[in-house]
Amino acid sequence: MTDVDGALVRAENVHKWFGQNEVLKGVSLHVGRGEVLSIIGPSGSGKSTFLRCINQLETYQKGRIHVGGELIGFEDRGGRLVPLPNRRIVAQRRNIGMVFQQFNLFWHMTVLENIIEAPMLVLGQRRVEAEATAMALLERVGLSEKAHAYPMKLSGGQQQRAAIARALAMKPDLMLFDEPTSALDPETTGEVLNVIADLARSGMTMIVVTHEMAFARQVSDRVVLMEDGKVDCEADPETFFRDQPSARLKAFLATIH
Amino acid sequence: MGFDWPFFWSRLTDPGDLYMIALGRTVLMAVLAMLLGLVIGVLVGFGRLSKFAPIRAVCAFYVWLIRGIPVLVLLVLFFSGLAAAGFFRFSDITLFGITMSASFQAAVLGLAIHEGAYMAEIVRNGIQAVQRGQIEAAKSLGMGTFQLTRRIILPQATRVIVPPLGNDFNHLLKTTSLASVIGVQEIFQLTESMSATTFKTFELLIVVSITYLALTTVWNVIQGLIEARLRRHERDEQPTTLFAKIGYYLWPRGDAAMERR
Ligand SMILES: Nc1ncnc2c1ncn2[C@@H]1O[C@H](COP(=O)(O)OP(=O)(O)O)[C@@H](O)[C@H]1O
Ligand SMILES: [Mg+2]
């Protein structure tokens, strides 16, 4: 993947409608390679929808999203955007990992099977190779002893760590986290945040939608406030949380403290 | 008058070749109709959820139509009705040295078309039971439609589909008796023709009832084994012995049922 202007992800003026309801009203963002961007904002402001547009779980209708220099979901034919065939969209998703609020592990597979499934099926890895990678990832997220357990038997925190390992097994260039700890007990939130922070330090490019302000402050390179389908303000975490450079940000931070 | 015990016991313990062949026909008819019905059910079940409205409409029409017609009527319609109208006449065919009579073919087809309509609903429900989130996770991992259907949707839908499907097969094993009406020589038809000559109607009907009961019992055990295997991921301790596996199905623990959510 090549980058455009040094950014791995570049979103320009992205619009998305659900029927008549305009949910994204011109989102522009960029994320540099190795950078960690946190997105905060009130519920319903379009954070999830934006993440889902990046890996084409939703289709945006106006604007452009580039990942690694490649236009996501469309082909540019002299300025006119033509939707890509499904096969191309499927291929584009391979380099983008996603972690969901509800973990979404495959219930009929053990943790190890969950992790090796896509590398074997999609990348054509051999089982020994895929299993070796999977075991190393499980070690990294502290879940080695649960390799052969079924998801139903794991706590939420364990399921989420397994889901992170599953996404990493595809060796993505970019990781998207959609409120990865919102469905967790306070006790298990920490263990998942540690894993994500660890990944951030390792140089992974990430976009993290979160309500954990302390986490956003410590781990991100930049923080963005999304409000009503638009980027309200963005800054480095110190400036963002100390100076609170917008009235809406002040109001939002006041509601959660 | 009264119950002829010696006759009853001799029929039960030594039913004779003719009865065993008829029994084979009953089982074969049920198995073939089930397999064919399953193919129809999977196609129509997926078709009901197709992106294309005409496919959805055709599949919905099939389900609506077939579920509104009695099986008995369907069987006679296939065997006699089509021939009478000159549309299609079944004729005997021999495959691998086994001759399948025209009535047997009509019965298998009629039962399969009947079963297919019910199975389509079971299959559709099973597909819809797969969590959206897991499908999205599979997509986010780069799986294509075919890959995620085969590896995620089908295995999970199977867990939901198998218990009601097993129930259907239990039903089908006995519904085969209706094929006697179009002249298939299965166990009920044989029982009827024997009672016409021996007048031991009651004894023979008890024997044939016991035979059906034996068939469904064997099927119960097989279904138990299949379900125990499919429910592996829901249990802490796995049943290991054959007896424990059957027991798990026949007498599931209350808390296991609760845990399933
Ligand atoms: N599949 C959908 N169909 C219709 N409306 C949707 C859908 N998904 C999200 N929305 C709407 O889009 C808006 C933004 O939702 P979302 O992106 O989930 O916000 P956030 O993640 O910031 O809470 C909400 O008003 C929501 O109701
Ligand atoms: Mg959200």
pLDDT digits (tens, 9 = 90+) for B67-113: 999 999 999 999 988 888 778 778 888 777 777 788 999 999 999 99
A178 CA → ligand 1 middle, Å: 13
Three-state secondary-structure class, residue A175: strand
Of all residues in chain A, what percent are helix, strand and coil, respectively (each to 5)? Answer: 40, 30, 35
Share of chain A above pLDDT 70, in %: 98
CA distance A157 to A96: 22
pLDDT digits (tens, 9 = 90+) for A80-108: 999 999 999 999 999 999 999 999 999 99
Which candidate from A90, A150, A167 shows the least CB-CB separation from B144?
Answer: A90
**With 0-12 CB in 10 A as exposed, 13-18 as middle and 19+ as buried, what is A153?**
middle
Question: Which of A115, A108, A147, A153 is CA-nearest to residue B237?
Answer: A153
pLDDT digits (tens, 9 = 90+) for A2-26: 555 678 999 999 999 999 999 999 9
Question: Which of B47, B103, B49 is CA-nearest to residue B78?
Answer: B103
For residue A209, the cross-strand partners are A39, A178
- Please tell me if residue A174 touches chain B, with a CB cutoff of 8 Å: no
pLDDT of residue B132: 93
pLDDT digits (tens, 9 = 90+) for B218-234: 999 999 888 888 877 66
Per DSSP, B87 falls in state S
Q: Where are the domains of chain B?
A: 16-200
pLDDT of residue B238: 63
CB–CB of B87/B138 below 8 Å? no
Does the interface ipTM go beyond 0.85? yes
Residues 6+ apart with CB under 8 A from B90: B78, B79, B83, B102, B103, B105, B106
Take residue A70 and report the two structure tokens written for it: 């490649």
Asked if residue A23 has its Cβ within 6 Å of ligand 1, the reply is yes
CA distance B257 to chain A (A): 13
- Please tell me if residue B92 touches chain A, with a CB cutoff of 8 Å: no
- Please tell me if residue A59 touches chain B, with a CB cutoff of 8 Å: no
For residue A32, the cross-strand partners are A7
- Please tell me if residue B133 touches chain A, with a CB cutoff of 8 Å: yes
Per DSSP, A151 falls in state G
CA distance A119 to A106: 15
Would the pLDDT of B61 be above 60? yes
Which candidate from B133, B147, B156 shows the least CB-CB separation from A104?
Answer: B133
B216 to each of A216, B73, B82, B173, B251, how far by Cα in Å?
Answer: 61, 25, 32, 7, 17
pLDDT of residue A17: 97
CA distance A144 to A163: 14
Mean pLDDT score, B61-71: 96
Would the pLDDT of A198 be above 80? yes
| CATH fold of B16-200 | MetI-like fold (1.10.3720)
CB–CB of B134/A107 below 8 Å? yes
Take residue A50 and report the two structure tokens written for it: 């934006």
Within 191-230 of A, beta carbons closer than 8 Å to B belong to none
- pTM (2 d.p.): 0.83
Take residue B88 and report the two structure tokens written for it: 């299609």
B250 — pLDDT class (breaks 50, 70, 90): low
